[in-house]
Amino acid sequence: MSGSNNKPQQSINLEDMSLQQLQKIKTQLESEINELTTAFTQMKQAQGAFRECKSCIGTLRPENQDKTVLIPLSNSLYVPGKLSNVKSVVMDVGTGYYVEKSTDDAAIYYDKKIDYVQENAKKIQETVEQKQASYRGLLEIMQYKLTQQQRQQQQQQQEEEGGSKAPVATAS
Amino acid sequence: MSTQQREKLEAETMAFQKLQKEYTTLVESRQKLESQLHENELVDKEFKILKDDSRVYKMIGPVLVLQDKTEATANVEKRIEFIRDEMGRVEKRIEQLGKEQESKSVEIFRLQMDMQGISKA
């Protein structure tokens, strides 16, 4: 098996490493991939939340002015109210600050946020794919070394058993 | 293997582990600071493109309190500066710890070699 799966960007030559070292790298890659996948899922969720906010703004149309709405006071307690302001919204911009914006500006804000998260999610996805490719290459090399090791052990066993035969220099 | 050497090795190893723990904690706090910085920078950007007549609220407990836009901007900018300073300090300490860790591990290695050298003789 050639080392064709050694990614060119790796600065360490995996083939030169012992099985133990490869095992360590394998565990490290596994945890990295897991972390990145979790981050990716969180990004997608955040994106969903922003899209939801944006569509909520869509309900604030001039024709809905003064319509009755139910305001939640708790999860199971509501009060009826009237939609008096369909022109502006107060939105969370981070670190505990809320800003009042017109519905159009708010929609733009959410659009920007959605795009921003989308870009980050894409970057994470690319990194995950890279790491998974390295991981697969690593597994192949480990498998190869393992078979090599087993073959060596078998050879040694056979030579020990066939002790009456002419001694063959064992590769040490 | 002299007991003295063994004790020294143990002491150095424990010191090394302590360094490692501090290092991990620092790296964690640096990451936290980085994400706080990022969030504050986003807010700062948002304030900058805000029209001057837009209202800014701050969430204090369960209440949204009206803030003066210039005051809020100044607040956020001060916070950003503070976080940057804090990050600089943490990064310097991280660098320092890295060097200490390295010299400790060299020391430990030397002790181990010494001990093996004596036991072989």
B41, B80 Cβ separation under 8 angstroms = yes
Q: For residue A102, what is the nearest residue in chain B, using CA coordinates?
A: B54
Q: What is the pLDDT along chain A (172 residues), one digit of tens a residue?
A: 333 344 444 456 777 778 888 888 899 999 999 999 999 999 999 999 999 999 988 888 888 888 899 999 999 999 999 988 888 889 898 888 999 988 888 899 999 999 999 999 999 999 999 999 999 988 888 888 889 889 999 999 999 888 655 555 555 5
CB contacts of A94 in chain B (<8 Å) are 39-40, 42-43, 46
pTM, entire model: 0.70
Say which residues have a Cβ less than 8 Å from residue B59's Cβ, sequence separation at least 6: A96, A97, A98, B65
- SS3 of residue A5 by DSSP: coil
Please give the Cα distance from A170 to B17 (Å, whole number). Answer: 42
Angle, nearest 10°, between helix axes A103-161 and A19-58? 160
Task: Mutation target for A interface from B59, B73, B77, B78: give the one with most A CBs within 10 A.
Answer: B59
Write the burial class of residue B103 (CB in 10 Å: 0-12 exposed, 13-18 middle, 19+ buried): exposed
**DSSP structure class, residue A93:** E
